[in-house]
Copies of this chain bind each other. A is one copy, B any other.
Amino acid sequence: MPKTDKKSKPVFTDSINPNFKSKSSSIRGKQEYIDGIRAGNRTVLSQAITLIESTRAEYRELGEEVLEECLADTGNSVRIGITGVPGVGKSTFIESLGKLLLNNGRKLAVLTIDPSSSRSRGSILGDKTRMPWLSAHERAYIRPSPSGGTLGGVARKTRETILLCEAAGFDTIFVETVGVGQSETTVQSMVDFFLLLMLAGAGDELQGIKRGIMEMADLIAINKADQKNINKANQARQEYKNALSLFPAPESGWEPPVLTCSALEEIGLKELWEKIQDYLTLTKENGYFEANRKEQAVYWMYESIQYQLKEKLFHHPAVKKELPTKEKEVEEGKISSFKAATELLELFNG
A residues touching B (Cβ–Cβ < 8 Å)?
Answer: 64, 67-68, 71, 74-75, 156, 159-160, 163, 203-205, 208, 210-211, 294, 297-310, 312-313, 326-327, 330-333, 335-342, 344-345, 348-349
- Interchain nearest-CB distance for A126 vs B (Å): 25
CB distance from A155 to the nearest CB of B (A): 12
A330 proximity list for chain B (CB < 8 A): 294, 297-298, 301
A84 to chain B, nearest CB (A): 16
A242 to B183, CA, bound (A): 28
Known: A203-B205, A312-B345. A297 touches B338 (CB 8 A): no
Beta-carbon contact of A301 and B205 below 8 Å: no
Copies of the polypeptide in the assembly: 2
Q: Which residues of B contact A305 (CB under 8 A)?
A: 313, 341, 344-345
Let me know if B205 and A349 touch, CB within 8 A: no
**B68 A300 Cβ-Cβ under 8 A:** no
Question: In this complex, what residue of B is CB-closest to A67?
Answer: B336
Among candidates B301, B307, B309, B344, residue contacting A340 with C-beta atoms closer than 8 Å: B301
**5 further A-B pairs in the complex, CB-CB below 8 A; given A163-B336, A297-B330:** A68-B339, A74-B333, A205-B205, A208-B211, A301-B344
Indicate if the CB atoms of B300 and A339 lie closer than 8 Å.
no
Q: Given A203-B205, A312-B349, A338-B67: A297 and B211 within 8 A (CB)?
A: no
Chain B: which residue is nearest A310 at the CB level? B306
Query: In the complex, A304→B309 CA distance in Å?
Result: 14
For A339, the chain B residues whose CB sits under 8 A away are: 64, 68
